[in-house]
Amino acid sequence: MLNSRIIFDKIDENGDEKVTEEELKKWIKYVQSRFLRTDTDTRWREHNPDETPTLTWTAYKLRVYAYIKGSVPRLFIVALICSRIHNILMVIF
């Protein structure tokens, strides 16, 4: 209950113990923008562990798709295997 009160007080900018539509809209925009910044920073650190100022497409593919140069991405291979297993099971049962 204490956490709810803390959040309520942050939303209620003028302290009148009521949350107006405008105050709620401002809070939602604030929370959305904060989430986007945090999520973007997190994703950037995941994809760019060397902390370089730019990220090449090759490095991105390697981190996201486990891409190995000159081969088919592992994710595609796993999907293909699962599809074939599913087809075999459909025939058996």
DSSP calls for 13-77: TT-SS---HHHHHHHHHHHHHHHHHHHHHHHHHHH-TT--SS--HHHHHHHHH---TTS--HHHH
pLDDT tens per residue across span 43-75: 888 888 888 888 888 887 777 776 555 565 666
36, pLDDT greater than 80: yes
Average pLDDT, the chain: 80
40, pLDDT greater than 80: yes
Average of per-residue pLDDT across 18-33 = 92
CB atoms within 10 A of CB 60: 13
Kindly report the backbone phi and psi dihedral angles of residue 4, in degrees, each rounded to the nearest multiple of 5, phi listed first.
-60, -40
Kindly report the backbone phi and psi dihedral angles of residue 84, in degrees, each rounded to the nearest multiple of 5, phi listed first.
-70, -40
